Amino acid sequence: MTFESLGLDEALLRALQTAGYENPTDVQARAVPAALAGRDLRVCSSTGSGKTAAFVLPALMKVLEARKDPAQKPKRGEVRGPRILVLVPTRELAMQVAKAAADYGRFVPYLSVATVVGGVPYANQLRALRMPLDILIATPGRLIDHLGSGKAILENVEVLVLDEADRMLDMGFIDDIEHIAQALPLKRQTLMASATFAGEVGRLAQSLQKDDVERIEIAAHTAKHENITQQLMWADDLDHKHALLDHLLTEREVDQAVVFTSTQIDADRLAERLGEMGHSVAALHGGMPQGRRNRVLSALRSRQLRILVATDVAARGIDVPTITHVVNYGLPLKAEDYVHRIGRTGRAGREGRAITLGERRDVGMIRRIQQYTTQPIPVATVEGLEPRRAAPDLSGRPAFGGGDRRGPSRGGSYGRPNSYGGDRGGQGHWGDRPQGDRPAYGDRPYQVGPKPSRSFGGGGDRFAPAARGERPYTPKTPFGERPQGYFNRDGGEQRSFGGERSYGGDRPQRDGYRDGHRAENGFGGGGHAPASRPSWGGKPRHAGGEHAPFRGERAPHTNGAPSSSKPRFVSKGTSDGKRPRKAV
C-alpha cells in the first residue's frame, strides 16, 4: 500500500516524499482512511509505529478542505480559534507533534500551528491565540489557564486529538480534559491514541466519543520490537555500572544515545560526569526551564549532541531517527515506561539497541518488565567487565528470606567512589567492612528454663524501681504559700541565682564602680532592692524616698522656643520689640 492509495491531497503527498516516507505503516494504513471518513478512532499501538502521522495527516486534510471553501475564510480581525485541537501530556511531545505538522503541511498554504504549554511566557501564547489558527497543540494544564481567562476560543474545533491519553490520566489531567471537552462543540471528531483503553481510559473514551468508534489495535504493549536488540547487563555496584556505561558509550556503533535515569539530580550529575570525560552531552528533565529544554532538543536533532541524559519526561517526546542506542542507567518506576524508553531508538523501521544496567535490587522490576512485554531480556556481558556474582534468577520469586528488598535502582549514589576491580577479601557484596567478633545468630546457645536477671551496661547491680506503695509522700505546698523568688517583697529566705558569682562578671564598671558580691539572699538582699546604685552618668541616686534638692523655678519659655543664654534685643525707640532702622 502507498500513500497515494489513502486518498491524501497532492500537497501532503509532496511533503511526505520530501520527508523521505514512501509507504505507510500498518497503523497509518488503517487509521488514515477511517479518519478521513469522519469516524472516531481508538488507536492502540507501540511507540515508533507512526501514530503521530496517523492523526496529523487527516487533520491537515480538514485544513485543506476549509481552504477551498470561501465561506469558511475568517473575516479581517475575526478570532475564531483553532480547527484542530491536539492534547498531549508533556511539552516535548507537543514540540514533536508541532514539528510533524509543520513537516507534513509545508505545502499547505498559510498553515498556522501554535503550541500552548507550561514554562513559556503567557504573552507569546496570547498573541498566537489571537491570530488565525489552524492547529493548536496544548498541554491540558496551560490550556485550562487560557480557557479560564477567556483567551482561548474553542467553539469552532472540528477535530479533537488526545495523544498518549493514558499518560495524561496518570499525570492527573482527567478533570482538565473533561473541562476542556465541555467547551468544545458536540458535533466533532475525536481521535484517541493510548497504550491501553482499559479502566479509567476506557471510561473517558466512552464519554468523549461516538458509539460507532473505530478500534485499531496493532502491536500494543506486547510489541516484540524486533528491530531493537534488547540486552540486560548485571552490575555488582555503582563503579561497575559506570565502567559498563563508559564502555558502551565509546563503541563505534553509537551514533547518538539516550541514557535514562530515574531522578533529575541523577541526570544532572551523570551528564556532568560524562562531560568531564569528553563526551558531547546534555541533561533533559522536567526541572529545567522550557527554553533550555528546547535548545537541548534542537542540539540533539542537529547532531550537536551525541549523548542525552534524560528522565522519563523524554521517554515519549523524542523522535530523532539517528538515535541508535538507549541505556537504562536507572530503571523506570512503571513497566510500561520501559517500552516507551527503548522506543526512542529503532524509529521508522531502523535498527536499534537497548541496554539495561541492572543491580540486585532491580530484580523485581525486571521481572515486571518481562511480564509486561511477555518476553525475556537476554543477559549479556562485556569482556573484562564480567560481574563477580552469579546472575540472579528471573524465572520466579526468590526463596523466603532471600533477595534484596531495597526496591528498584535509582542510578546509584554519588558518594565516595570505590575502586572497581580491587580485592574485596572474600567479603562478597559488602566489601572490606569488618564484621566484628560476635557469633552469628545461629551460634547463640538456646536457654532452657527461666531467664536470669539481665544487667545492662556492665555497671554492676541495678536496683529495681521502688513500688508505688513505697514511694515517700511529700505534701504539696499550697499555691499561695510558695516562695515568689525575685518578685517576693516580704523578706524571708529566697533563692540565690548563681551563688557567689558576681553580677555582671569581672567587667569593670563606669567610674571604677564594681558591683562586688551579691547580697546573701541573692539579688534584692532579703526582699529589698539595693539602697542605691550608680547611674550610667556617674551621679548618685537618692534613696529612702528623698527628692533631689530644689534648684528654683525653671525660666519660662517664650512661644515654645528653647531658652537661650544670649540676651534678646530690645529697641530703645518707640516700637518695643522691633529692630531700629539703620541710618543711611
pLDDT at 352: 92
- Ranges of residues in the chain whose predicted pLDDT is under 70: 47-48, 74-78, 219-224, 314-315, 348, 396-584
Could you count the other beta carbons within 10 Å of the beta carbon of residue 348? Answer: 13
Q: Tell me, what's the pLDDT at 548?
A: 53
377-402: string of b/e by CB count within 10 Å (b at 16+)? beeeeeeebebeeeebebeeeeeeee
CA gap 113, 151 in Å, rounded = 17
Tell me how far apart the alpha carbons of residues 449 and 438 are, in angstroms, rounded to a whole number: 24
Name the CA radius of gyration of the chain, rounded. 42
- Domain topology for 228-373: Rossmann fold (3.40.50)
Q: 368-390, pLDDT tens digit by residue?
A: 999 988 889 999 999 999 999 88
pLDDT tens readout for residues 397-434: 544 344 444 444 445 444 434 444 444 333 333 333 33
Question: What pLDDT does 535 receive?
Answer: 46
Closest CA to 51 of 319, 258, 322, 312: 319
For residue 318, the model assigns a pLDDT of 80
CATH topology classification for 4-218? Rossmann fold (3.40.50)
Hey, is 308 helix, strand or coil?
strand
Cell numbers given for 296: 537541548
At residue 105, the pLDDT reads 94
- The pLDDT, as a whole number, for residue 223 is 55
Q: Give exposure, 317-327, as e/b (b: 16+ Cβ within 10 Å).
A: bbbbbebbbbb
Please give the Cα distance from 163 to 353 (Å, whole number). Answer: 26
CA geometry: angle at 42 spanning 41 and 44, to 5°?
A: 135
All CATH 3.40.50.300 domain ranges in the chain, comma separated? 4-218, 228-373
pLDDT value, residue 339: 87
Instruction: Give 379's DSSP letter.
Output: B
CA 64/CA 36 separation, integer angstroms: 12
CA angle 23, 24, 28 (to 5 degrees): 175
The model's pTM: 0.58
